[in-house]
Amino acid sequence: MQEEKIEQTKKGSSGEPKLNWFRELLLIGIFYAVYSWVRNQFGSATVEPEIALRNAGHMIDVERFVGLYIEANIQSWFIEWDPFIRFWNIFYGTLHFIVTLGALLYLYFRQPKVYPRWRTIGLTTTGLALIGFATYPLMPPRLLGNCGTYGACLESSPFIDTVAELGGLWSFDSGMMENLSNQYAAMPSLHFAWAFWCYLALKPFIQRRISRTMLALYPLCTLFAIVVTANHYWIDAVGGGLILWVGYWTGSHLQKWADHQGSFRH
């Protein structure tokens, strides 16, 4: 009888868990504000370019060791197609916010039973990314040939900063963005981690074949976008997958603990 009362307290009349939209908005907003501050506090504004370049050399050496240092080749195949590259610039700059937010809203309104768990997994994964950004500043491919404040100015670099050269909705080199953004927040790739999070969170609930196909392609398209725009090495996506795996395990256990605490209080 006591357990029944607890369940009735935790759930509404429809049997769904009660969610407070204002609390959720506040939680995610505060978390992202703190995340952004920490991400940039330990970023390119406080890190010497030589350190980020050294780490880039390490990543390139690893890729060469496994025979897959292919980012420059991939970019060279498409770099002459200006509209195509601009599309991927916009994809890179916007979809990781739009699709992730859309997934959160879908889970909140349509799948409230699983929303808290996936929200916590997403927040935990994002928090884990800060460890990489703070401890392993990594110069992305686009900055290897850049002669600006944060670039290496390597004449031998085969990479082109597609956003700076061909355009998009914004550029890291534009005004305040250059100083406020962490130019070396490349490892792990949070773009890929969030894309894969969207896939895992939504997959059980998407039934139409075309929608399931688009959902499955989204992480792959994100991987292509981060490489062809020279914002990441492919190995950064491996790091993104790793933090998602740890975030999945840790976030799931954190949410179980939070649910248990909530049941105990009631």
Task: Dump pLDDT digits (tens) for 72-122.
Answer: 999 999 999 999 999 999 999 999 999 999 999 999 999 999 999 999 999
Helices (H), 111-174: 115-135, 162-166
Amino acid 13: pLDDT: 44
The predicted-structure confidence for 51-85, as pLDDT tens digits, reads as follows: 999 999 999 999 999 999 999 999 999 999 999 99
Helices (H), 160-266: 162-166, 175-180, 190-202, 209-228, 234-265
> What mean pLDDT do residues 203-209 have?
95
* 152: number of Cβ within 10 Å: 17
> What mean pLDDT do residues 133-143 have?
94
- 3-class DSSP state of 237: helix
Amino acid 141: pLDDT: 97
d(CA 233, CA 191): 12
Categorize the per-residue pLDDT at 46 as very low, low, confident or very high, splitting at 50, 70 and 90.
confident
Categorize the per-residue pLDDT at 131 as very low, low, confident or very high, splitting at 50, 70 and 90.
very high
On the question of pLDDT at 9 being above 80, the answer is no
> What mean pLDDT do residues 123-138 have?
93
